[in-house]
Amino acid sequence: MDTSLKPAVGTSLKAAVVGVGLLLGACSSIQPWVKPYERDRLADPIMSWDRDAISGAYMDHIYESREGSRGATGTAGGGCGCN
């Protein structure tokens, strides 16, 4: 019975984090292609990932308590990009 950590899990995490690091390094010279004055649609509340936080957390909790999986249910970002 494999109850020790699968090597695949550790490797996939490391790969993802290194990937993000490389992306950040490579992209520091790229200029933003969506100008801040073009962000009106992204700033619209209908484009936010989760307008109602209590409801989102509540549904996540229902699924996690009935399913065998968990995790990776939220992301930050978007909006007007102000400041």
Partner 1 sequence: MKVPTVKLLKRCAMAAIVIASTAFAASGDASGPAPAFTLTALTGQQAALSQYKGQVVMVNFWATWCGPCQQEMPLLDQMYKKYKPAGFTLIGVNVDKDAPPVKELLARKPVSFPVLLDPANQVSKAYHVDEMPSSVIIDRKGEIRYIHRGYRPGDENEYQDRIRQLIRE
Partner 2 sequence: MKSFPRHLSRLAALAALSLMCVAGAAVLPDDRADLFWSQYKGGGMDIKGESVLVRKKFSEQFAVEANYFVDKVSGASVDVLSNASVIKDERKQKSLSLDYIHDKTQYNLSYTNSTERDYISNTTHFSLSQDMFGDLTTVTLGFTDSRNKVGENNGTAFVPKIAWLGHAESRSYEGGLSQVITKNLITGVTLEVITDQGLLSNPYRSIRYLDPTVPLGYSLGTQVYPNTHTSTAVEARAKYYLPYRAAASVSYRYFSDTWGINANTIELGYTQPVSNKFIFEGRVRHYSQNHATFYSDLFPFANSQNFEARDQNLAASTNNTFDGKVTWAFAPEGFLVFKRATVSFDVTRIQFKYSDFRNIKNFNNTPLGGGYQPGTEPLYGFDAMVYQAYLSMFF
Of these, 1, 3, 5, 54, which contacts partner 1 (CB under 8 A)? 5
Q: In which residue are the tokens 């649609």 written? A: 41
Structure tokens at 64: 């996690």
Structure tokens at 11: 């490797």
Q: How many residues does the chain have?
A: 83
Which positions lie near partner 2, rule CB under 8 A? 1-6, 8-9, 12-13, 16-17, 20, 23-24, 27, 30-36, 38-42, 44, 46-83
Which positions lie near partner 1, rule CB under 8 A? 5, 9-10, 13-14, 17-18, 20-21, 24-25, 28, 32, 35-40, 43-44, 80-83
